[in-house]
Chain A
Amino acid sequence: MTVHSPRTIDQAVTLLEKYPSAMILSGGTDFMVEVNFNHRKPSQVVSTRAIEELRQWNIDHDTNSIFIGAGVTYSTIESSDIAQAAPALAEASRTVGSPQIRAAGTMGGNLGTCSPAGDTLPVFAALDAKILLASNAGRREVSFADFMVGPKKNSLLAGEMVLGVSLPIIEGWQGYAKVGVRNAMVISIASACLVRNASDDSVRVALGSVGPTIIRARAAESWWLDQGAPRSSSEMHTEFGARCAAEASPITDHRSTAEYRRHAIKVLCTRLAARSTSR
């Protein structure tokens, strides 16, 4: 196994072109687990750790957007200004693993793995994040919805890597909640991100771990808009939660049952809706 340590994005994409089977290594918190279990046997590894540019992030108040490099870690998100600009992302980051995992694990890695249980992904889905990709042929941007195409499947092309994510700064309440069977360091069995846009009082909701990809509960979102202001009654929140749950398509596995997952989505979305209107 050869590990390449490029210092620039250009060097990285050149290597990716030269070694089409090369795998990208970021924090290694998914990658090394796969290697240790012999699920992956990379012969060429392109490590992104030395690429300073990938660890950058930037909040642009003129364009009202945040750019987060693929190499930015969960602990950076929790402790930086990103936490104020995208509180749901900070909450999602706080739920990830342990302090050690959050110090090593990155956004690029969560996107690279693209698990339906990936904790930042519902936030990216709810915020309609744009994923910036690069290859030796150039750069392109895809919406999160077009990026995640299945369980642990994304639309990265051969030789392509994630450079980062850009998110809009949205005026209004946003939050993330996740259910697992212990109180920390647990894989989500159902999660939800809700973003409320103060300007038009719309909401966007994305559901994690209850489908092959992250699910946007678009019917529930438009039902919300159809309801009159102030949208703060608990009946409405309960109805909204039930409508979100109806859009989930959970499965039963050794972690939980489809029935419980759907129920959990109903409760989480009801509560997130209530939280969004209680301040």
Chain B
Amino acid sequence: MSTVKTRRDVLGTNALRPDGAAKVKGEFSFSSDMWSDGMLWGATLRSPHPYARIVRIDTSPALAIDGVRAVLTAEDVPGVLTYGLIDQDQPVFAVDYVRYMGEPVAAVAADHPETCRRALAAIIVEYEVLTPLTDPELSLDTSTPAIHPNGNVFRHQRIVHGDTSVVGDVVVEGEYEIGMQDQAFLGLEAAMAIPDADGAGIELHIATQWLHEDQKQIAACLGLPIERVRLVLGGVGGAFGAREDISLQVHSCLLALTTKRPIKMQYSREESFFGHVHRHPARVHIRHHAKADGTIVKIEARMLFDGGAYASTSSAVLINGITHIQGPYRCPSAVVDGFAVRTNNPPCGAMRGFGVVQACYAHESQMDRLAEACGLSHVEIRLRNAMRTGDTLITGQPVESVAPVERCIRETDALPLPPPLIDSPDVLELPGGTGLTSRSENIRRGIGWGVSIKNIMYSEGFDDYSTARCTLQDGVVALKFATSEVGQGFVTLAPQIARSVLGVTDVVVEPMDTTIGSAGSTSASRQTWMSGGAVDGACRLVRERLFEHVGLANGIDALRLVIEDDEIVDTMGTLRIKVTDAAPGVRFEETFEHHHRPTEDLDENGQGNCHVAFAFVAHRAVVDVDVELGLVKVVQVATAQDIGRALNPLSVQGQLEGGIAQGLGLAVMEEVIVQDGRVRNPSFTDYLLPTALDAPEVVYSLIEEPDPQAPLGAKGVGEPPCISVTPAIASAIRQATGRDIRRVPVRPQDICL
């Protein structure tokens, strides 16, 4: 709960995060900091094999250990045995088979983490080890035995659009590969499950992206009515998609209900790598047809996403991938085939950019080739094809969103370049950094481009509405919503909205939990639009009530009243009264649901108005490369982003810079390395994230063309920053080295060997 007392912090200002100081000082309570009297610890036993049949499980040696209170397996799941966001195919505990390394097999509750560890070691699981299916191409082969009763293909979707017989004067073709990225949030998975006194219900404190979706899936697995499962948001330390799927939710609740004691569960960094989904690795084959002047006439593409062992959101990621493969460019004709398949690799699902990252790396690499084939610059080719509002996508959907693609490119191009590489710069700023590998004579500099289109909100007919309640009494507003604050800043924005609409200063944000309707997921760049719309709607309803009250009390028509600063003002008279004094003791309370306009499913040719809205961004990367050693330093990233409206410019800047760092990670270092179904680097020692010395200078321009569809005129800004920066960096490396870079992350050996 937080109170912000600065009248200034209205929409459009750099209001500060209410939890910012606490986070910086280490005082913020993350979900892993939770504690409860009489609690036990929970822990998970995971499969050491990517694929095996479970011959036998014997939990009795674990139960015999002093201090162990429960050992649970699939047999102990009272409700449905599986969960999932779209298809419920992921077992709470493995049933008969384990299909990926790290799949949960059992869970224990004990009085101490060390007792838990010993209990896990004592559980006997006899496996018949099977040969894992790890090549996604093989999953498509109908002669490959199915590794799951639902089959090896999660989804296949085709897009056929326009005149597919068209052949371009110029044809460029490429095969691209994107590695598996981890969300690598800093706050590890953690939960506190507290059983109700009557044993027939549970309260779960949890770091998640979507309380209500968790609630639904947990209740089904527990076999409890939904109202007996109450969720409260724990302090979340980042999410990036990794908290959309269930991880330890059901396990902790089951252990709590079984032991009748509060259960604390938390993952280590290593377990976290196995406990959540990752970004899909993908292979993209793509062919562009263009006129001699560079105008695109057709694309042909095949996209293959490796979804790993269970469905998670693979089918939706796939649709995002194929429907964005044209990029932010006009394209009259297309033939696209997309597949999301099952393997015995780690399950993959949501991550910032959701399928579009993979598409963007491929289409932007192609734009560079097309530019070269047509003798155009990298900027010219993109300007020539830039999409505009009113254009039709390859799905047949018209782009109704504001689409300032050309402006994104031109404004990025106009941003200043960094100073040239001087003869003796600070060696730490060169590729290789503190390793002192390089001198400026070893360096070549490249400049690369990336531009992207990203859908915001959920697609394909899904009504992902948001709910908010606003209460006003004596000038103090309380806001209630179930919107997960995962670090994106909705706890800053919501009070800004209330202050702007209601002319108040003091806004209390109540705890986020399931005692109010769903807010949808904190994902798909949607909460500013959706929950922002809900808070705005609730505050406007309260304002109407307030005006009615003041109108009645003063004998004037409420329609004449407006809010000016912190006062209610009669536009046709002299009345002026402070909001704080307008209705002493009266409590106004309104709840509002914001729904976006409906969307449609795709038909068998991939045609349909499946997305709600789009946001655009351009990136230009300047990269220094030590060509001989294959080491890189991203010197600067320039970006102009289509944001609709900057409701909090500082927050926007944070998203831009953070997204760029994450996209840089995918470009040059972040990869979950999987060999034969085994994760080889489940630690921050070997899964490398950019450090301060790797992060570039960011220069940016915000393009503010308010979107008429958006409740506050603002588009979501969360995902676009990380999407086209990856191909921009890869492109700069190509420019610097002349190497044909087909894969990200780009490894040193890809550059120099």
Given the known inter-chain contacts A182-B691, A259-B749, A260-B748, please indicate yes or no for A95 contacting B686, CB distance below 8 A.
Answer: no
Q: Which chain A residues numbered 244 to 264 have a C-beta less than 8 Å away from chain B?
A: 254-257, 259-260, 263-264
Cα A212 to Cα B91 in complex, Å, equals 43
Determine if B142 is an interface residue (Cβ-Cβ < 8 Å): no
Q: Is the CB of B691 within 8 A of A183?
A: yes
Residues on B with C-beta less than 8 A from A108 are none
Stretch among B69-77, B601-609, B628-636 lining the A interface: B628-636
Q: A176 within 8 Å of B by Cβ?
A: yes
Most buried by B among A181, A182, A187: A182
B747 & A185 in contact (Cβ 8 Å cutoff): no
Q: Judging by beta carbons under 8 Å apart, are A184 and B629 in contact?
A: no
Given the interface pairs A260-B748, A260-B749, A264-B629, the reply to whether A184 lies near B433 with Cβ below 8 Å is yes
B629 is contacted by which of A38, A176, A267 (Cβ under 8 Å)? A267
In the assembled complex, the Cα of A255 lies from the Cα of B629 at a distance in Å of 15
Which B residues are in CB contact (< 8 Å) with A196? none
B579 to chain A, nearest CB (A): 49
Any B CB within 8 A of the CB of A42: no
Whether the pair A94, B434 counts as a contact (CB closer than 8 A) is: yes
A185: chain B residues at CB < 8 Å are 434, 691
What residue of chain B has the Cβ atom nearest to residue A183's Cβ?
B433
- When each residue 639-681 of chain B gets 1 if its CB lies under 8 Å from chain A and 0 otherwise, what string results? 0000000000000000000000000000011000101000011
Contact-residue size bin, chain A (C-beta under 8 Å from the other chain): 20 to 34
B742 to chain A, nearest CB (A): 17
Residues of A within 8 A of B439 (CB): 271, 275
B421 to chain A, nearest CB (A): 15
Determine whether the beta carbon of B694 is less than 8 Å from that of A183. Answer: yes
Contact A255 B694 (CB under 8 A): no
Which of A38, A175, A256, A275 touches B749 (beta carbons < 8 Å)? A256
Q: Give the CA-CA distance A256 to B752 in the complex, in Å.
A: 13
Distance from A210 Cβ to chain B, minimum over Cβ atoms (Å): 14
Give the shortest distance, in Å, between B105 (CB) and chain A (any CB): 19
Chain A 177-189, CB-CB to B under 8 Å as 1, else 0, gives: 1111111111110
Per the bound structure, the CA–CA distance linking A8 and B753 in Å amounts to: 53
Partner of A178, one of B435, B628, B747: B435
Structural contact, A177 and B437, CB atoms closer than 8 A: yes
Closest to B437 in A: A177
CB of B216 within 8 Å of the partner chain: no
The A-contacting residues of B in range 589-637, CB under 8 angstroms, are 628-631, 633
- Given A183-B693, A254-B686, A255-B686, decide whether A177 and B753 contact each other with a Cβ distance below 8 A: no
Q: Contact at A182–B688, with CB atoms within 8 Å? A: yes
Task: List A contacts of B436 (CB < 8 A).
Answer: 91, 94-95, 175-178
> Does the CB pair B753–A254 fall under 8 Å?
no
Contact at B437–A179, with CB atoms within 8 Å? yes
Known A176-B436, A263-B753: A181·B688 in contact at CB below 8 Å: yes
- Interface contact B629-A179, CB-CB below 8 Å: yes
Residues of B within 8 A of A191 (CB): 435
Q: Is there contact, CB below 8 Å, between A259 and B434?
A: no
- Whole-angstrom CA separation of A177 from B692 in the bound complex: 20
| Contact assessment for B753 and A95 in the assembled complex, using a CB-CB cutoff below 8 Å | no
Q: Is A203 an interface residue (CB 8 A)?
A: no
**What is the minimal beta-carbon distance from B691 to any residue of chain A, in angstroms?**
5
The reply to whether B432 and A183 form a contact with Cβ atoms under 8 Å apart is yes
Cα A178 to Cα B433 in complex, Å, equals: 9
User: Among B668, B680, B691, which residue has its beta carbon within 8 angstroms of that of A184?
Assistant: B691
Asked if residues A181 and B747 are in contact (CB atoms below 8 Å), the reply is: yes
Q: How far is the CB of A264 from chain B (nearest CB, A)?
A: 6
Cβ–Cβ contact A95 & B434, under 8 A: yes
Question: Are the C-beta atoms of A254 and B680 separated by less than 8 Å?
Answer: yes
A268 within 8 A of partner (CB):
yes
- B749 to chain A: which residues have CB within 8 Å? 256-257, 259-260, 263
CA distance A185 to B686 in the complex (A): 11
Query: Residues of A contacting B669 with CB < 8 Å?
Result: 181-182
- Determine whether the beta carbon of B688 is less than 8 Å from that of A186: yes
Interfacial chain B residues near A181, Cβ < 8 Å: 668-669, 688, 747-748
CB neighbours (8 Å) of B631 from chain A are 179, 183
Contact (Cβ within 8 A) A271 B433: no
**By the criterion CB–CB under 8 Å, are A183 and B434 in contact?**
yes
> Are B432 and A179 in contact, CB atoms less than 8 angstroms apart?
yes
Q: What CA separation (Å) do A180 and B442 show in the bound complex? A: 17
**Residue contact B437 to A182, C-beta cutoff 8 Å:** no
65-120 of chain A: CB within 8 A of chain B: 91, 94-95
Question: In the bound complex, what is the Cα–Cα distance between A254 and B180 (angstroms)?
Answer: 14
> B727-753 interface mask toward A, CB cutoff 8 Å, 1 = contact, 0 = none?
000000000000000000001110011
Given contacts A37-B270, A182-B669, A185-B434, 8 further A-B pairs with CB under 8 A are A179-B435, A184-B433, A184-B434, A184-B691, A256-B749, A260-B747, A267-B629, A271-B442
| Chain B interface residues (CB < 8 Å from chain A) | 117, 270, 428, 431-437, 439, 442, 628-631, 633, 668-669, 673, 675, 680-681, 685-686, 688, 690-694, 747-749, 752-753
9 A–B contacts from the bound complex (CB under 8 Å): A177-B432, A178-B437, A179-B437, A181-B669, A182-B669, A183-B434, A184-B434, A184-B693, A255-B686
User: A-side interface residues toward B, CB under 8 Å?
Assistant: 37-38, 91, 94-95, 175-188, 191, 254-257, 259-260, 263-264, 267-268, 271, 275
